[in-house]
Structure 1
Amino acid sequence: MVCMTARKKDNLRKRQEFIDTATELFGQYGVDGTSLRDVIKASNGGKGVSPSVFYYYFDSKDDLINACMDSYMGSYARSIIAAFDDDGQSTQDMIDNVLVCVGQAWEGLKEFFPSANERDDWVSRFDRLFVDALLSSITPSMTHALAKALDQGDLPVTQLSRQVGPSGLAALLCTGTSTICRQLQDPVSQSAQQVEMLVGTYARQLLGLVQD
């Protein structure tokens, strides 16, 4: 049992090394500009590995890209959850901190898919990456934070919040944010500040903090 556990940890570590190496290369050259050969050559501290080692952990470049995106979005999910769980901040500060994380995550995705030619790749992955890997994972903490803010009077009790409750508000915030980002005509040209502004306006209106 001990040997199996150690082996599993070693496999996870080696798999993560490929993810970290590929993430760095994708950030520099984009997904299309990075080949599997580049990743394999840069792995193992730049010493490289045999292709068979890579294919032990991943089925293809596409499989590697998805793993990198899951890891990337997971890191931002943890940052957003930390913002929701920080009891020492106001509701407005919480919203602002979450928006910064969303904007930073957006900027990072633009680095992975930097060219117009990669638009189709961006669109095909967006829902899974943004909704499944990020928004769905933060929903429980968001629901808890919204419930607390409503109970303490930091958020106004509106007809909508009475009808759907904190969990419903959290779901609407997540799906609305996804829709806003997905509907942007040219994701590559949109800045983090623009995304933060659009999502922030939506969130504040939904939560009754500003009027239309």
Structure 2
Amino acid sequence: MPEVMFQGPDGRLEARYHHAKQPGAPIALVLHPHPLHGGTMNNRVVYTLYGVFQRLGFSVMRVNLRGVGKSQGRYDGGVGELADAAGALDWMQAINPNSGPVWVAGYQWGAWLGMQLLMRRPEVRGFISVTPPANHLDFGFLAPCPQSGLIVQGGRDEIVPEPAVAKLVAKLNSQKGIRIDYRVFEDCDHFFVDHCDRLAEAAEEHLTLALGRDERLKLAAD
């Protein structure tokens, strides 16, 4: 997983990027938790999701947003970081001009950013959000949500209580054409200690089904 540095909106950004061997492979971007609470691209959940996308044949990136690690710039309350995420997606699309489906994934604060990116980039076909902080941040922008996806939550999460996430899931599932695959790990806390293998299994299962559905729709259209 080679290190890459590329120009973002407010300076150079540090990332790890895996380039798929197969032409036209799908691409994915994985976003880290809140930088003021120690969130980086090396977080265990971010690393786990990155590995799932890699194993399934994606070109995939995990990136340190501005002010984190070797990335230039300063924390910007999510506004600049969303621009960084869009810049990372631009970089991947530039070197994968004929890519397949685009996915975004994120953990905690990164889930919030990823779902904002979903709203702004119509080419994004699905998402994986782990512990979206529905009790701390406003997800009202998902009206309507443009794509279905996977949300994973710990049942023993004391930072983002499960009922807050269940309420968000219910609102999304009430929207026409949207189906949220909601997985609750009952004995799991906010940090997914000893639960990353289960997370990887859930993500791989969801992606395999979603990619198979996309391929069937493509064949039908042809």
Instruction: Give the TM-score category using the shorter length.
Output: 0.3 to 0.5
Structure 2 length-normalised TM: 0.31
Instruction: Give the number of the structure whose alpha-carbon radius of gyration is greater.
Output: 1
- Greater relative CO (CA pairs within 8 A, separation 6+): 1
Higher helix share: 1
